[in-house]
Amino acid sequence: MKVVNIHHPYQANQIPTDNVVLALGFFDGVHLGHQEVIATAKKIANEKNLKLALMTFNQHPSIVFQKIDPDQMKYLSTIKRKEELMEAQGVDILYVIEFTSAFASLSPIEFVNQYMVDLHAQVVVAGFDYTYGPKDVANMEQLPRFADNRFEVVTVAKQESDDEKISSTRIRKELADGNMEVANELLGYAYEIPGRVVHGDARGRLLGFPTANIEVDAGVRLPRVGVYAVKIKVGNQWHLGMASIGYNVTFGDNRDMTVEVYILDFKEDIYGERVAVSWHHYLREELKFDSVVDLIAQLKQDELDTAAYFKNEK
C-alpha cells in the first residue's frame, strides 16, 4: 500500500497516475460500516481492474469546523493504526489529506474536481451519509451532478446493528461505558491500543502482581476507567492479561492516570518494548481498598475472573 500525504494545494506530480476506485470518509476505527464501504469499492476495483484508493484526513474535520483543540482529540485509530487496518482491507493507495481551513473551504465542485477527478477516480464510493464542501453542504445525492459523467458514483446503504447505524460515534460511547463486547462487535475486531512499556512505581512486584505500565500513543482513545480482561502483544506473541485503567486510588489521591497490564503466566522484562493491548471484557470498577491485603485479594480474584472469561470465550 502506498501512503500519499497531501497538503492543500498539492502538486500534480504527487498523485499516482493509476486510474482508481476512490472510497471517501474519515474512517475512524475502520468499523463494520466502513469495512462495507471499502469492500464495495474493492469489489468494483477488482471487476474493473483498477487500483483501490481511499481518502482520509490527518485529523478529524471537527477540529476545523468546531474549533476543537487537536491535543484533546482522541481517536479509535491513529493514522499509523489506520494505515495497518487499511492495508489489511486491501487498499492500494491511501491518501492522507491534511484537514486545514483552506482545504475545508473548497466548494463542492472544487473538491470534486481536485480531489476526485484529478485523483483519477473512475468510480467514487462512499456511504449514504457522506458529505463534503464547506460545513458539509453537499451530499451523495448531488454527487452525480457534480461528477457530470466523469466518474461513476456508488452509494453504500446504511449498515446497522440493533436497528441503529454502526458509527464511530456509537463505538466511542460504548468504550466510554466499558461495553467492550458491543464495541468489538461493531468494530469487527477487538479494540486495540498501541503503546510502549515504561517504568512505574515498582510497587506491583511487591503486591505479587508486577505490571507492565503502558505509555499509550498520543491521540488514542481509552475505554472507561476500570479493570479489564485484555490481551497484550509483545513481539509477535499475544498473551492473556488483566489491565487497570485508573488512578491507583488505594495509594493516594490526585495521582496520574495509568494503564497497567498484569500478564498471566509471564516473567520476562519488557521495559521499552512496543506493545498493543486489545480490550475484551470490563470486569469491575476501580476500587479504593482500606489495606494492601484487600487489594491483593481482589487482584487474585481478578486473575481467576480473567482466566474464566477467556476460557468461556474460546
CB-based contacts of 172, cutoff 8 Å, min separation 6: 76, 221
Which of 41, 263 has the CB closer to ligand ATP?
A: 41
**Per-residue x/- mask for ligand FMN, residues 215 to 254, rule CB under 6 A?**
------------x--------------xxx-x-xxxx---
Query: How many Å apart are CA 23 and CA 34, to the nearest integer?
Result: 10
Q: Find the shortest distance in angstroms from Cβ 306 to ligand FMN.
A: 8
- Residue 156: which of ligand FMN, ligand ATP, none does it interact with, CB under 5 to 8 A by kind? ligand ATP
- Residue 244: which of ligand FMN, ligand ATP, none does it interact with, CB under 5 to 8 A by kind? ligand FMN
Query: How many Å apart are CA 71 and CA 183, to the nearest integer?
Result: 24
Q: Find the shortest distance in angstroms from Cβ 155 to ligand ATP.
A: 8
CB-based contacts of 196, cutoff 8 Å, min separation 6: 214, 215, 217, 272, 273, 274, 275
Q: Find the shortest distance in angstroms from Cβ 297 to ligand FMN.
A: 11
> Residue 64 in contact with residue 100, Cβ under 8 Å?
yes
Q: Is 69 helix (H, G, I), strand (E, B) or coil?
A: coil
**Per-residue x/- mask for ligand ATP, residues 113 to 132, rule CB under 6 A?**
-------------xxxxx--
C-alpha cell recorded at residue 299: 487482584
C-alpha cell recorded at residue 266: 509471564
Q: Find the shortest distance in angstroms from Cβ 230 to ligand ATP.
A: 24
Query: What's at 165, amino acid-wise?
Result: K
Q: Find the shortest distance in angstroms from Cβ 211 to ligand FMN.
A: 4
C-alpha cell recorded at residue 1: 500500500
* Angle in degrees, 0-180, between the axes of helices 168-177 and 180-187, rounded to the nearest 10: 160
109 binds ligand FMN (CB under 6 A): no
143 binds ligand FMN (CB under 6 A): no
Residue of the chain from 137, 202, 293, 308 that contacts ligand FMN (CB under 6 A) = 202
The secondary structure of the chain in percent helix, strand, coil, rounded to multiples of 5, reads: 35, 30, 35
Of 225, 223, 219, 218, nearest to 191 by C-alpha is: 223
Per CB under 6 A, the segment of 33-41, 94-102, 183-191, 204-212 that binds ligand FMN is 204-212
CB-based contacts of 131, cutoff 8 Å, min separation 6: 137, 138, 139
Per CB under 6 A, the segment of 96-104, 143-151, 160-168, 209-217 that binds ligand FMN is 209-217
Residue of the chain from 19, 35, 59, 168 that contacts ligand ATP (CB under 6 A) = 168
By the criterion CB under 6 A, which residues form the site for ligand ATP? 24-28, 33-34, 36-37, 126-130, 156, 158-159, 165-169
Residues making contact with ligand FMN (CB under 6 A) = 200-204, 207, 209, 211, 213, 227, 242-244, 246, 248-251, 260, 262, 286-287, 295, 299, 302
